[in-house]
Amino acid sequence: MARPTMEDVARVANVSRALVSLVMRGSPKVSAQRRTAVLEAAEQLGYSPHVMARALASRTSTVLGVMLSDLHNPFFAEVADGLDSAARAEGFELIINSGGRSPARERRALNSLLSFRPAGLALLGPVVPSSAIESAAEESPIVLVSRSSRLSTVDTVNDDGEAGSRMAVDHLVSLGHRRIAHLDGGGGSQSALRRRGFQIAMREHGLEPEVFRSEYTDAAGAKAVKEMLLARETPPTAVVAANDYNAVGAISALEEAGLRVPQDVSVIGYDNTSLASMRHVSLTTIDQPRAEMGRLAAEALLQRVRDGRTDPVRKLLHPKLVTRSTTCPPPA
């Protein structure tokens, strides 16, 4: 269980500890001869540097903390993937953590990540109050994904949720729909933007926007549909859901009520997660470039860490429509 230290490697290679340190950090000012001696000794002992000791001594961590608002939502998993490969390519490690969509648990997760004194922090779809983010930003560079912020100390990476919702509406209108409802994301991140985009687009088409309160889960989507069907004698012919998860729940409830999707009611999701592309689901949805968002988040952090940038960056990505099997023209 006791791993070898630099001292051990130095002894075997017959050099000083400082020289081993230089080799480990890939310094050019080491003779080829010594370098190979050190590397051989390290290999032989199975040595690899102690990340924590290194962080302590150098006062510069190579750890990026990532908090997923929800470990179960594939959207975040896919962003994390993008972040991971970008960070790894630059020699950074990721430590992941999850905050169960609850502000209290998120706050704990945030503190836990901060206690590692990470080089930077990426928060994916956080729901903690802005003040918590602000105080965390005093201790570490922060980038927010899928959450906007006015704080001048944090970077953000978002898709244009307003534009995305408009695309959804435009698509449905072009198919001939006039009565279109929106199930919103409640207090979830980005939900206000998506809601507003829906409302604006509807009005531009001369249509009355109708919004039902919901959340970013499939259970909430089903519930909202039930309420919607109860509230209207003739249901809308199309539904713009808060996200893919929500859409799947909505579809279930519609089918349970005897309505066929898409023949009777078209449904459109948001995110284009792996869920939407599953063939059994085959959901028309709005795509966010998830891996790209992760990459940009990593980049933003690295710019602050390495290049010392201090002014905030706001990345806004363009969503796009992905047409699958849950939308078609309304019934005659």
31 binds DNA (CB under 7 A): yes
| From a copy of itself, DNA, none, interface partner of 180 (C-beta below 5 to 8 A by class) | none
Q: CB under 5 to 8 A by kind: which of a copy of itself, DNA, none does 192 bind?
A: none
Q: Tell me which of 36, 43, 44, 57 binds DNA, using CB under 7 A.
A: 57
> Based on CB atoms, which residue is closest to DNA, 120 or 262?
120
Q: Would you say 24 or 211 has its CB closer to DNA? A: 24
Angle CA 28–33–39, to nearest 5? 75
Give the residue with the Cβ less far from a copy of itself, 202 or 297.
Answer: 297
| CB contact at 8 A, 325 and 251 | no
Which of 1, 26, 59, 91 is the binder for DNA (CB under 7 A)? 59
Confirm or reject binding of residue 111 to DNA (CB under 7 A).
Answer: no
Asked if 80 contacts 295 with a C-beta cutoff of 8 angstroms, the reply is no
Contacts of 180 (CB under 8 A, 6+ apart): 169, 172, 173, 202, 207, 209, 210, 236, 237, 238, 239, 240
For residue 212 the two structure tokens come to: 């039902």
Selection from 255, 261, 256 nearest residue 284 by Cα? 261
Note whether 7 binds DNA by CB under 7 A.
yes
Q: Tell me if 50 contacts DNA by CB under 7 A.
A: yes
Binding-site partner at residue 130 among DNA, a copy of itself, none, CB < 5 to 8 Å by type: none
The DSSP-derived string for 255-282 is HHTT--TTTT-EEE-SB--HHHHSTTT-
Which of helix, strand or coil describes residue 116? coil
Binding site for DNA (CB under 7 A): 2, 5-7, 15-19, 21-22, 24-25, 28-31, 33-34, 49-50, 53-54, 56-60
